[in-house]
Chains A and B, each alone.
Chain A
Amino acid sequence: MIEQKVVNPEFLFFTAEKKKLFMTGSEAVREAIRKANVDVAISYPITPQSESMHLVGDLFAEGYVKEYFRGENEFAVMSSVAGAAMAGVRVFTATGGPGTLRAFEVFPTWAGARLPIVCAFMTRGVNSPLTIQPDTIEMAYLLETGILMLHAETAQDLHDMILKAFIVAEKTDVHVPVGVFADGFFVTHTKEALEIPEPDIKLPSYDPNNSPVPPMDMESVPVRQMRDPFVMKSNFISYAAHASWQQEVDAARERSRKYLEKYLGGLLETENEDADVLLVTSGTAVCQSREAMAAARAQGLSVGLVKLKCIRPFPAQEIKALAAKAKAIIVPEFNRVGWLAKEIKSVIDEPGKVIGAPRVYGGMTMPPELILDEIRRVSR
């Protein structure tokens, strides 16, 4: 382990000198965690997440992560991570597809307990039929769990978003979990060029005393304290308390917007936003769309791109404004149900403009030509 200097997050994200590396998404996770000053990481084997958590294990062996173990299943892992976070340390874990669903009950509790956990979701299809291939359907299930959801397009995104996620998650007024989603294989197993800071710097450590809820260590007041008690007596006031608690979790998610703006440079990113046809999507569907856009523009078609970096909170106002100018909106997705198209339809005035296609799943690749076909169809 090399000696690491604590630097402020802005320096690490924006100023620190970067070097070029050629690595996979899984390795990019390792490089992020190496600099993230993580206290506890807990893993469970599942494809395609395993490689990254092996590498985080190596970081533990080297001394970059202070505590690490393999839990017995994903539900237990997510529970153990919650226990560690309540004790006041910075934690990291990762899962994917069926593992996400196995642990599902825990995610809303992370948000409700205001735990700033960062979890990477290497998305894959869920059974049945059994598949280990890329598919983003698990994101549809997680939309209302209260966690922040960032969607990486590339290994570079994955690396940067994980580091930034800790800083956003740990803001006192936010302090909710962040899921960083990356399409399995397409990102985790693809080797590409990255630019990342040297490993001799790291983020400042997490300070649980700035938390909006007290750590459970018998060193913090109040002493008489249950996390998180039943606000569920049968009377109006306890229902109202429960409802207000939920509103506060939602409010926390709202408050993250300004930090996401600052660190991600916006919840979305556009290219040729005044074009007639907009490709609006997230994750690796963005990469495919970039190719399709280039091909379409070469043919003289008016095509723009909106890359959604953040799914929760959802950049509804931004999308609404962009959609108002466009003649048609194409939403390519890597899942069977088209959850992103539905999200977009529900926030714009004229959902009729939205074409929820192409949809590719079951591990299939999305040829840019398919998107190009859609562009041609609507440009006619």
Chain B
Amino acid sequence: MPLPLFILFSALTLGFAVAVIANRNPVTAALCLVVSFVGLAALFIGLSAFFIGIVQILVYAGAVMVLFLFIIMLMDIEEEERKHFDRLRTAGGIAVGIGVAFLIGGVLWDFDYGKASLDDVPVQFEAAITLREADADSGIVRSANATAALREGRLKDVALVGEKLFNDYNLHLQMIAVLILIATIGVVTLGKKDSPAPDSGSSGGDKASES
């Protein structure tokens, strides 16, 4: 990712994330968060994690935030009234924030990768292809499609992710599926309690398919 774009998207992500916290209007906050997420997705894509980036948009921006907006609008939440901030509390929050930032900065300072740029670690197609061929010889299932794409010098992200997901993380995937099912049931139950609320019930489940 070229540096200007990186700066642009980082600024977008960070700036709108700050705006989420700073805004008192919940609708604005939610929309700022959407923009922030889109920026984040762009950063993901810049890190050649296409699939994760798109999923980020699809799930977060497309579904989760819509839900948020939905709830905000349904409940007709008004702006938080401007309260006098508790000085002590604010000061404490800022102190912790600065402290954590300081810690993370310290970690980065000591961390080699922290100073590396993306060009220092290019994707090594040759090595990858050799390894995959060796794997194929020893009977490990690899996506032929992805290998072919690697030969063309393309990083077929989705195929590689899928390969990993269904080979190494199959059990986890199923567990997640069960978790989502449980969440769906829980949401429907929660939403049903007082009066039939079709919106929260039906919209609660839609992540099941998208993820």
Question: Do A and B come from the same complex?
Answer: no
Q: List the interface of chain B (C-beta within 8 A of A).
A: none
